[in-house]
Chains A and B, each alone.
Chain A
Amino acid sequence: MKTYLPSRFMVERDKDRCIRCQVCVNQCSFDAHYYDCDDDTIRAREDNCVGCHRCVSFCPTNALNVRQNPLEYKSNFNWTSQAIEDITKQAETGGVLLTGMGNDKDYRIYWDHLVLNASQVTNPSIDPLREPMELATYLGRKPNEVEVDSDGKLKTKLAPQVRIEIPVMFSAMSYGAVSLNVHKSLARAATQMGTMWNTGEGGLHPDLYQYGQNTTVQTASGRFGVHAGYLSAGRIVEIKIGQGAKPGIGGHLPGEKVSAEVSRTRMIPEGTDALSPAPHHDIYSIEDLAQLVYAMKEATNYTKPISVKIAAVHNAAAIASGMVRAGADIVVLDGLRGSTGAAPKVIRDNVGIPIELALAAVDTRLRQEGIRNQASIVVAGGIRNSGDVAKAIALGADAVYIATSALIALGCHVCQQCHTGKCAWGLCTTDLALTKRINPDIGARRLSNLLRSWSHELKDILGAMGLNALESLRGNRLHLRGIGLTDKELEILGVKMAGS
């Protein structure tokens, strides 16, 4: 069937600069460049271009540019180019539209409507270059009070806590969805920087058990790669109920991606599809969750905090309260902008609520019920910079998860082709020719650098506020003001309007 879709991008090649070295041909995993030997020239199949900029970055003579196709449909607020092209694609395939990465719609980004405070006159700002500045965070269940005996000796024994040196962790990305080299990069960076990375639900490759102290092992509805050794390898066990990009939807790793190594790690036959059911088949209610939480605690001898991750949905506050009562030591909320390796586009674009509102609502609810100390709150979904991190902490989070930001640090240009398995940057693919594009040593250095930059910036932000410990910003919504928000939005965020 002839496609009616126009190409999304235009590839511009400066003939004077091009030396016909074919780097672009070799780098493009979408076959957008080819060498025409008859004319000794490089040409483009623009229909194939996804705008990932791999060729632009690697062209040794800067001969290439990729820009959006300026083709304009007749202007129409309802029938946008995306609406037209989605229908066209479905008419040509009859399938569910798949996509990768997080929601790209223009829903309000509340981070950009919140501003931070700083000290002036009445209290001094603190210079992080001269004074100690503490970002260390402890994740896990805390008691309501500390007890000491009459001799002043400590009686209280804390539940397992995990210390992270910066309140930023790498979010779940499974082996299979991303490559082993990506996992190695994440694991090494987390170990270097004293934070956690997360296996996702694809199990833990044998090479990575050495990073267990900085690993969160995930168990999700497919239970892939879950066994006693796996659970005890990590520092935190995370039960994944939902994901921000596709709340209520399971996962599907196509058989082509299930290589020998993936098969071994996931404990499924080579070449078979790995299907994660939409719900856990043993969790149909909150008390079932409690059973799984305690099954995990039993399996790990009560030595590790158990984390439960949900997608931020309408009644997230009530659900989170139930999760804490069900024994979750860490509550993870993944918001509307949370990313994915593959999801139905209609779900990604339309389901869930912004993480800022979910976080504010959950933190407020847990405090109203007097159980906020019983669980740490971690938020995920679209955190872009240290400013977002600081605002999340001030709204009430203990820490944040980043995945897209981490992938960008490794080279991702957010072209949203993760679901194709052809990632030209070698990230979201198991094609061995592509995965070797990531060198784990360099990858770990890039990720560590990102965390190091953010930690310097967080210290600057704290010092400017006159604080020298992160915990004094946690839930400190007085250090936030809103701009351009309605009264109701301010009320839900628990933040005052700027100027008041």
Chain B
Amino acid sequence: MRDLGHIQNPYSDGKVIDSCSIFGMMDTSGKRFSGEGIIRAIGNMHFRGNGLGGGFAVYGLYPEHPDDYAFHIMYNSDAAKIETEEYLNHRFDINLAEVVPTKLNEAIINPPLVIRYFASIKPEIAHAHCVNQSQDDYVVSRVMEINTHIADSFVFSSGKNMAVFKGVGYPEEIAEYFQLAQYEGYLWTAHGRFPTNTRGWWGGAHPFSIHDWTVVHNGEISSYGTNKRFLEEYGYECTMQTDTEVVAYAVDLLARRHNLPVEIIAKVFSPPFWHAINRRSPEQQEMLGTLRQVYSGLLLNGPFTIILAHQGEMIGLTDRIRLRPLTVGVKGSTLYLSSEESAIRLICPDLDKAWIPMGGEPIIGSLKSPIIPGSYNQNSAAAGSQGI
């Protein structure tokens, strides 16, 4: 019999279906803050999950190792650890390896070993392999290889100055296990999961990460079959049978490989309807029309809210008819994204502004254009939508 602890989708359903709570907060001035607030906020939406998955992504986490790839890898066996470390040692200079500190609580059952490695690509390999591809491309390929070829190993995250912590449990229990209140970052996202499936595998919890992008996702992507086959043409193998994996790969394709900005990516995932496009200026009609025609296979159709994050940027997005909730809050230079307004109000009762964005309208927080404190006061003219 297969060990369910190792398999994301033991019944080989077309895909795993889940419903969730999601939360994101970012200080767009770049100031780092502890995980305490987000842990309370996601905990406030306890009932939206069912204890079968929780996780966090943190950016600006390791300022002491800004240029190293911070691999966070889970192991279900000693053999996997030995094999993976040998694999890494051949290709990377490991500057630091340490067990991610944990504190067991009774909710956590049979946790895997999680080790973090701060590493850089060996210069000779960088020289040989990174001519036609960037170092990031090389790392992405190696992570895929570990995840698909080394049994019992799974890379939670591999970006620089960031990490993903996740597992099977309620998010507040996972936070306690990984002692996340002690960490600081300028951007945090969190996820509580309600899969319609068995008790799963730690790697299957959100956030999903590829390169330094992370995705937390609430919803079911009904276009999964179309999206998956589209991505397969670009060499992505969707092995985990979850629709969140599809989002992560789609972001990777559009952002890293096709070099598109997030405003445009949002219009691929949640494009305006044709009748709305036809009301735009000729230039925008051409842009939006071209995106819809070329990337029709990446329209994410069905109810979803996602929070995407990467270095310096956080994006909240719903499907184009907003079948899943998203509330935005702003206080000073901090941007909050949440499934429920109550969770934001719990940790920040006096928001400058809170609103529900239109379906398909991206909400973007960025270090490049930080929110000017006060600009979102209720009466301010600046308050409103962003994006194209």
On A, residues with C-beta under 8 Å from B are 119, 122-124, 126, 131-132, 134, 136, 138, 142-143, 145-148, 152, 154, 156, 158, 161, 367, 370, 372-373, 465-469, 471-479, 496, 500
Residues of B within 8 A of A478 (CB): 14-15, 224-225, 228
A466: B residues at CB distance < 8 A: 220, 222, 301-303
Q: Are B261 and A472 in contact (CB under 8 A)?
A: no
The interface residues of chain B lying within 8 Å CB-to-CB of A469 are 296, 299, 301
Q: B294 contacts A156, CB within 8 Å?
A: yes
Q: Is the interface of A mostly helix, strand, loop or mixed?
A: loop
Cβ B220 vs Cβ A475 within 8 A: no
Task: Output the nearest chain A residue to B253 by Cβ-Cβ distance.
Answer: A145
Does B286 lie within 8 Å of A372, measured CB to CB? no
A495 to B297, CA, bound (A): 19
A476 touches B260 (CB 8 A): no
Residues A142 and B226 in contact in the complex (CB < 8 Å), given A122-B196, A468-B321: no
- Do B224 and A122 have beta carbons less than 8 Å apart? no
CB–CB A148/B233 < 8 A: no
The A-contacting residues of B in range 284-332, CB under 8 angstroms, are: 286-287, 290-297, 299, 301-303, 320-321, 323
B229 contacts partner chain A, Cβ-Cβ < 8 Å: yes
Q: Is B83 an interface residue (CB 8 A)?
A: no
Q: Do the beta carbons of B233 and A372 come within 8 Å of each other?
A: yes
**In the assembly, what is the distance between CA of A500 and CA of B9, in Å?**
13
State A475–B19 Cα separation when bound (angstroms): 25
Could you tell me the distance between the alpha carbons of A123 and B321 in the complex, rounded to whole angstroms?
13
B17 at the binding interface (Cβ < 8 Å): yes
User: Taking the complex as formed, is B78 at the interface, i.e. its CB lies under 8 A from any CB of chain A?
Assistant: no
Q: How far is the CA of A373 from the CA of B295 in the complex (A)?
A: 9
- Decide if B296 touches A146 in the complex (CB within 8 Å): no
B140 within 8 A of A: no
Q: Please count how many residues in chain B sit with their CB below 8 Å of the partner chain's CB atoms.
A: 48
B136 at the A interface (CB under 8 A): no
Distance to closest chain A CB from B289 (angstroms): 8
Whether A475 lies near B297 (C-beta < 8 A) is yes
**How many inter-chain contacts with C-beta < 8 Å in the A-B complex?**
118
Partner of A468, one of B258, B292, B301: B301
Residue of A158, A468, A500 most packed against chain B (CB within 10 A): A468
Q: Which of B223, B273, B283, B321 contacts A472 (CB 8 A)?
A: B223
Question: 0/1 per residue, B13-31, Cβ < 8 Å to A?
Answer: 0110101000000000000
Contact at B226–A152, with CB atoms within 8 Å?
no
Complex Cα spacing A161 to B289, Å: 11
Question: Which listed residue, B196, B233, B290, touches A146 by the CB 8 Å rule?
Answer: B290
Given contacts A123-B222, A475-B226, contact A148 B264 (CB under 8 A): yes
Q: Contacts A123-B323, A145-B258, A372-B233 given; indicate if A158 touches B293 (C-beta within 8 A).
A: yes
Contact with A along B100-136 (1 / 0, CB 8 A): 0000000000000000000000000000000000000
Residue of A124, A131, A472 touching B226 (CB-CB under 8 A): A472
B330 → chain A, closest Cβ, in Å? 24
Closest 8 CB pairs of A and B: A478-B225, A472-B223, A476-B225, A472-B301, A471-B296, A123-B220, A466-B222, A476-B226
Contact with B220, one of A122, A136, A500 (Cβ below 8 angstroms): A122
For residue A166, give the distance in angstroms from its CB to the closest CB of chain B.
Answer: 13
Q: Is the CB of B15 within 8 A of A154?
A: no
A161 to B273, CA, bound (A): 18
Measured CB to CB, the nearest residue on chain A to B223 is A472
| B294 adjacent to A158 (CB under 8 Å) | yes
Q: Please name the residue on chain B nearest to A470 by beta carbon.
A: B296
B321 touches A479 (CB 8 A): no
Which of B219, B274, B301, B321 is packed against the most chain A CB atoms within 10 Å?
B301
If A138-B293, A467-B302 touch, does A472 touch B222 (CB 8 Å cutoff)? yes
Query: How far, in whole Å, are A136 and B276 apart by their CA atoms in the complex?
Result: 13
